[in-house]
Every structure is written in C-alpha cells, then in structure tokens.
Structure 1
Amino acid sequence: MTIDIGRFSEAPSTDVEEPADTAAGEQKPPELVYGSAEEFLHEQLLPTYVRSVDGRSAQWCMEWYFHPEAVSRIEALWRAWEHLRLDGSTGMSVWWKDHADHHMNVLLDPRGPFHKCDMKAHRDPEPLEPKKAPEGWFPDVRTQPG
C-alpha cells in the first residue's frame, strides 16, 4: 500500500516563490492546500499518521470535533503544515518533529483529551473550572498605559 505524502516534496509554484503584488503593494499569500482543519485531518494527517488505537496505549474519539483541545491542536497542526510545506529543505522534518509528533502524542494519550471516549462512544469533556484570582491580581494589560 502506498500513501501519497508528496505534498511536502512538491516544489512551491512560481507564484509562491515570487508572489504577485496586490493593489496595495503587499505580497499575495500562498494558496492553502486544504480549506479547513477537518479536511487536513482526513486528507493528510490521519492517512499518514497511522497508529493502532486500542484504548490502552492510544485513544481517539470518533467525534473529535466535540473536544475543544483536539480542535485547537488539529487547527495548529494544519496551519503549521501549510506554512512548513513551503520550506523545501527541512520543512517536513520540522513539522513532524516539532508539531505532528508532539500534538499527536498528546491527542492519542490514553489520559489525553479523549480519555473518557472510546471508538464506539463519545463522552463530553468536562472542562476545569478553577476559581478566579482575587480582584487586581491580573490587571487587563489592554487598559494599561503603554
């Protein structure tokens, strides 16, 4: 079985190397390969990051999108991939080492965000509900003079 992971190895198109100028004189950002984190998850990440998910050494929830931490991490993986795929020298290695391996180890950890779920049933996550710090301990820096 061969899985196409060549998107990293494709040389950037000429419009990526020499972006067209916009009317305001800004460079046009490179086009995204994937339109959403979900598309990236199904089309790139899961087909290439294959692991045995048995509930003991690895855990996943089929309704991953109900887990805010998972959504945030998958979004981060997608955005990092879109950026690093443009680096033809070490981009793929950096993405795997610094992003995919790190976030997927957290996501798949049996004590991770899917710890109450299994491959058959989703269970809503219970967010931590810490107490608020006393008034004034963490002033809003947006309202402080520069």
Structure 2
Amino acid sequence: MSVEIGLFADTGDDSAGAPEAVTAGPAEALQLVFGSAEEFLHEQLLPTYVRDVDDRSAKWCMEWYFHPEAVSRVEALWRAWEHLRLDGATGISIWWRDHADHHMRILLDPQGPFYNCDRTAHRDPEHLEPKLAPDGWFPDVRVQ
C-alpha cells in the first residue's frame, strides 16, 4: 500500500529497513523531486507551511532571494526534504521537527532576516562590517 502525504510518499513497507531508493545500485542516480530551492519553496514549502504573516508576529519578504540567509535556509530545507522524503518511516516527522519548524521559525521571526522588509516592499538588510583581526590571530590552516 502506498500513501502520499504532500509530496512525501510512504510505501507502507517497513520490513526492508532502508528506503528503496537508498538501496538502489550505483548506476541508478536518485532523482530529485524539485530542480531548485525556489521551485521547492513555491511548490512544497509555502503551500504546506501556512502562517499569518502580519509584519508584527511574523515577517516575510516577497523578494526573499535578496536575503543571503533566507536563500541558504531555503536551500537547506530543500536538500533535507529531498533526503528525508526517502525515509518512509519517520522522514516526514524528522523533516518537520528538525528542519522546517526550526528554519521557518527563524525566517518568519520579526527580528529575522526580513526585519527591514514588509509584505509589500523589500529593503536591503544592513550588513555587519567587522574589522579584520590583527595579522597572525587567525592563521590560514590550509597552508602548511
């Protein structure tokens, strides 16, 4: 029996122990469901992770791709989803608990990466401009 929950699929067969796609031979490459983090955001994440974004308790920027932290977090969510969707036993739960809930709480936080934006306008975030440490404090460990 196969059950689909969103784009996660539960084969219902836990007897094998490992997801079928993980045990595929080296010649068989795993196929991604989504071709990019943006496609994942539009097709899976935002349609299933629905919240009231009122700019007081939650914020989002319609031009989220101008925020490097947001891009990195959406990319992380997508890659984790693509990996965990293959686990028919607990993959969905792990993805929600450890990935979606964690990253979306930070992304939607009014003090998060979209703090300077509102629902209708993107405003470039202010970037920290730290000074470089004195020479020798952080030697390049790649050099021998």
* Fold similarity call, TM over 0.5: yes
Aligned residues: 135
Aligned letter for 1:47?
Answer: P
**Length-normalised TM-score, structure 2:** 0.87
Give the unaligned 5+ runs of structure 2: 14-18
Structure 2 SS opposite 1:9:
strand
Equivalent residue of 1:77, what SS? helix
User: Are the counterparts in 1 of residues 67 and 125 from structure 2 also a CA contact under 8 Å?
Assistant: yes
- Where in structure 1 do 4 or more consecutive aligned residues deviate above 3 Å? none
8 Å CA contact retained: 2:57, 2:109: yes
Aligned to 2:44: 44
Unaligned residue ranges in structure 1 (runs of 5+): 23-27
1:5 and 1:89 map into 2 onto residues whose CA distance is 12
Residues 104-119 of structure 1 mapped to structure 2, 5 A cutoff: 104-119=104-119
- In the TM superposition, 1:23-42 aligns within 5 A as 28-42=28-42
Structure with the higher strand share, 1 or 2? 2
Q: Report the AA paired with residue 48 of structure 1.
A: T
Residue 87 of structure 2 corresponds to: 87
CA-atom RMSD in angstroms = 1.9
SS of the residue corresponding to residue 102 of structure 1 reads helix
Q: Is the 8 A contact 2:70 2:107 kept in 1?
A: yes
- The one-character-per-residue Cα deviations of 1:37-81 (angstroms, maximum 9, x if unpaired) are 000000000000000000000000000000000000000000000
- Alignment pair present for 1:16 and 2:21: yes
Q: Is the contact between residue 5 and residue 44 of structure 1 (CA under 8 Å) also seen in structure 2?
A: no
